[in-house]
């Protein structure tokens, strides 16, 4: 299932992504990837809140690496490539991406591709995704502000889930 999801994301990004200008999105692609790896580092040292589960093809490490190095950056590329300029369309765009992302997560959870632990649940994921897409856009247009807000949100989650 992980291979299917990764393949679909790659194909979607090939069709909808602005590959001619990928360098424009590259810093934010790295931001997303690094954020995911920081979560993995912190949770590996303590405990996971959510876990991407292995399947018949990919072991746990490969699942995390493909997600952090392929899926997440391509989601960022595709999301930013098609970002609208009109306010009403921006709101619709955020809603569409958020609902799609959450639907995929819900399906992944139902299929056992993703599991929740230590108080994390779909509601927390929903809040996270609602914050994530605006943060991706903010990082693209104002990196410093996005980094500062990311630290604030990270500390919030670290406190709420007893990491610190």
pLDDT tens profile 144-158: 999 999 999 999 999
Long-range contacts of 153-159 (CB under 8 A, 24+ apart): 154/38, 158/42
Give the C-alpha separation, 99 to 138, whole Å: 19
159 has which bridge partners?
Answer: none
pLDDT attached to residue 1: 82
Is 28 in contact with 136 (CB distance < 8 Å)? yes
Give the C-alpha separation, 114 to 110, whole Å: 8
Give the confidence band of 77 by pLDDT, cuts at 50, 70, 90: very high
Give the C-alpha separation, 9 to 71, whole Å: 6
pLDDT attached to residue 59: 94
116 has which bridge partners?
Answer: 50
Cβ neighbours around 155 below 10 Å, total: 12
pLDDT tens profile 10-59: 999 999 999 999 999 999 999 999 999 999 999 988 889 999 999 999 99
pLDDT tens profile 79-126: 999 999 999 999 999 999 999 999 999 999 999 999 999 999 999 999
Please give the model's pTM, rounded to 2 decimal places: 0.94
pLDDT tens profile 134-145: 999 999 999 999
Burial class (CB in 10 A: 0-12, 13-18, 19+), 162: exposed
């Amino acid at each position: 299932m992980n291979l299917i999801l990764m393949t679909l994301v790659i194909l979607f990004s090939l069709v909808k992504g602005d590959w001619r200008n990928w360098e424009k999105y590259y810093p934010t692609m790295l931001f997303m990837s690094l954020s995911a790896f920081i979560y993995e580092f912190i949770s590996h040292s303590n405990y996971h809140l959510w876990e991407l589960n292995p399947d018949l093809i990919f072991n746990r490490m490969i699942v995390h690496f493909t997600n952090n190095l392929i899926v997440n950056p391509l989601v960022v590329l595709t999301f930013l490539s098609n970002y609208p300029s009109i306010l009403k369309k921006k709101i619709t765009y955020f809603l569409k991406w958020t609902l799609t992302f959450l639907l995929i997560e819900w399906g992944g959870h139902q299929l056992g591709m993703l599991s929740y632990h230590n108080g994390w649940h779909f509601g927390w994921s929903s809040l996270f995704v609602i914050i994530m897409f605006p943060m991706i856009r903010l990082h693209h247009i104002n990196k410093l502000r996005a980094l500062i807000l990311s630290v604030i949100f990270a500390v919030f989650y670290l406190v709420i889930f007893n990491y610190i």
